[in-house]
């Protein structure tokens, strides 16, 4: 079991280019697993964790409803945003500047083969990170992601999640609003859930901007602990 995870920060990168890159890494791991099964090759599968920030983009999961996008093609263009139907679970969400997106591309055979546990661990990484900023974030029953003030009229989502898994290999991941422009969420019914607000860490803390590098460091620390992993930085 290889618990080493290669960390790569892609910086500011187009959604489609990043998706293609994820697919390349995902296929690499799958190909090794297939070779191991067919030939008993005994090859070690790698694990990756990508950080990225996307230009304005809306993505719709495979079970999502197009009616949850409230813009037509012309309006998308006017807002400088793109739209993609993608192969993760979940409905519609927004990615953009000021949002930390994390894509763990893991072979869960190296950790544990339980997709529900995997999702709960991803949520826990976010919950523990926000706790360090004095926020009491929680899960909302039946709704993937991380929320504040669940069970009150002021419930609001701070982190969206959606993953894909095949042969216990994962891709896609989480999107944590840190310094996000929340106005872009007004153009969708986020995650297909009506009547629930969306928030960002800087809004909750009442500051203009939160140090994103610091948030990433905290996220990785909690990820490392929960997954009992070892991190290495990708070499360019």
Please tell me whether 58 is known to bind a ligand.
no
Whether residue 118 contacts residue 190, with contact meaning beta carbons closer than 8 Å, is answered with: no
Please tell me whether 175 is known to bind a ligand.
yes
Radius of gyration of the chain (CA): 18
Please tell me whether 89 is known to bind a ligand.
yes
Contacts of 37 (CB under 8 A, 6+ apart): none
Residue-wise burial string across 130-165, b where 16 or more C-beta atoms lie within 10 A, e elsewhere = beeeebebbbbeebbbbbbebeeeebbbbbbbbbbb
Element (H, E) at 167: none
Q: Which residues pair with 156 in a beta bridge?
A: 148, 197
Please tell me whether 145 is known to bind a ligand.
no
Q: What is the DSSP string of 44-113?
A: PPP-EEEEEEPSSEEEE-TT--GGGB---HHHHHHTT-EEEE-SSSSSEEEE-TTEEEEEEE-BGGGT-S
Catalytic residue (one of 159, 163, 191, 215): 191
Query: Quick check: is 191 catalytic?
Result: yes
Please tell me whether 95 is known to bind a ligand.
yes
151: which DSSP letter? T
Please tell me whether 90 is known to bind a ligand.
yes
Please tell me whether 88 is known to bind a ligand.
yes
Please tell me whether 11 is known to bind a ligand.
no
Q: Which residues make up each annotated binding site?
A: 88-95, 160-162, 173-175
Q: Which residues make up each annotated binding site for substrate?
A: 88-95, 160-162, 173-175
Active site residues: 191
């Amino acid at each position: 079991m290889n618990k080493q995870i290669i960390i790569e920060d892609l910086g500011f990168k187009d959604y489609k280019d990043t998706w293609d890159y994820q697919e390349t890494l995902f296929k690499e791991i799958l190909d090794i697993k297939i070779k191991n099964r067919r030939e008993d090759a005994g090859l070690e599968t790698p694990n990756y964790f990508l950080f990225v920030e996307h230009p304005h983009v809306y993505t719709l999961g495979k079970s999502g409803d197009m009616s949850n996008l409230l813009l037509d093609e012309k309006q998308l263009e006017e807002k400088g945003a793109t739209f993609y139907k993608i192969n993760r679970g979940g409905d519609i969400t927004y990615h953009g500047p000021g949002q930390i997106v994390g894509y763990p591309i893991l072979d869960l055979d190296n950790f544990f083969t339980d997709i529900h546990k995997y999702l709960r661990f991803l949520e826990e990484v976010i919950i523990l990170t926000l706790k360090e900023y004095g926020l009491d974030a929680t899960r909302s029953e039946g709704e993937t992601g991380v929320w504040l003030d669940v069970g009150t009229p002021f419930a609001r989502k701070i982190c969206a999640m959606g993953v894909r898994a095949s042969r216990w290999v994962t891709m896609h991941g989480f999107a944590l609003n840190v310094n996000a422009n929340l106005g872009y969420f007004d153009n969708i019914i986020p995650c297909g859930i009506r009547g629930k607000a969306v928030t960002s860490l800087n809004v909750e803390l009442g500051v203009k901007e939160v140090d994103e590098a610091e948030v990433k460091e905290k996220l990785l620390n909690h990820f490392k602990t929960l997954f009992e992993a070892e991190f290495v930085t990708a070499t360019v």
